[in-house]
Amino acid sequence: MHIHKYERWWMTFGVGMLIAFLVLLGVAAFADNINPPSGMQQIDPAKVAETPPFDKPGLHKDSDKTYDAYYVAQVFSFNPSSITVPAGSTVRFYVTSPDVVHGFFITHTDVNMMAVPGWVNLAEHKFARPGTYLLICHEYCGIGHQNMFGKIEVR
Ligand code: CUA
């Protein structure tokens, strides 16, 4: 089979770009350790309601300005739906899901992760300024997806 010279150049270019991007992805993931937010902690999705600390979702005070917030994301709500912390607090958000993949995004912060059945994901944020922050599910999870939200009150 005869392949035209220019066609061969394009094929070489295409395969070369594919290899270059895969190498960059590998370097970012393994050498730079850039990964999706995840505590790499596993949980049985069928037993979330009985597994501490997710049997009692909510806000737990860790120290003076540090809190742990345990969230269960489920069709179609967050538990807890609302938390209140003083301004200047650092909150560690632990999130899991007993059903399907949900999103966990807090507006005006860099907290942006997924709630994945079988996994506990973790993100941390310091709320310097008072205000109301919206927590939204930004992964399509079913017919009530658009109603899935919560809030973080910073006083
Ligand atoms: Cu949960 Cu979309």
Q: Ligand 1: list residues with CB < 6 Å.
A: 76, 102-103, 137, 139-141, 145, 148
**Alpha-carbon dihedral sign for residues 114, 146, 78, 66:** positive
Count the Cβ atoms, other than its own, within 10 Å of residue 115. 25
Amino acid letter for position 127: F
Q: What is the pLDDT of residues 69-90, one digit of tens each?
A: 999 999 999 999 999 999 999 9
Q: Is 0.85 surpassed by the pTM of this model?
A: no
What ligand 1 atom has the least distance to the C-alpha of 102?
Answer: 1
CA of 66 to the centre of ligand 1 (A): 27
CA of 133 to the centre of ligand 1 (A): 17
Q: What is the pLDDT of residues 119-131, one digit of tens each?
A: 999 999 999 999 9
User: Taking CA 104 as the corner, what is the angle to CA 127 and CA 134, rounded to the nearest 5 degrees?
Assistant: 50
The residue among 91, 121, 82 whose CA lies nearest residue 109 is 91
pLDDT of residue 19: 98
DSSP structural state of residue 127: E
CA distances from 107 to 38, 70, 89, 117, 151 (A): 19, 18, 16, 23, 10
- What SS3 string covers 86-136? CCCEEEEEEEEECCCCEEEEECCCCCEEEECECEEEEEEEEECCCEEEEEE
Round to whole Å and give the CA distance between 133 and 55.
25
Residue nearest to atom 1 of ligand 1 (CA): 102
Round to whole Å and give the CA distance between 88 and 56.
25
Q: How far apart are the first and last CA of the chain?
A: 72
CA of 80 to the centre of ligand 1 (A): 15
DSSP structural state of residue 22: H
Query: What band does 36 get if pLDDT is binned at 50, 70 and 90?
Result: low
CA of 100 to the centre of ligand 1 (A): 8
Query: What band does 101 get if pLDDT is binned at 50, 70 and 90?
Result: very high
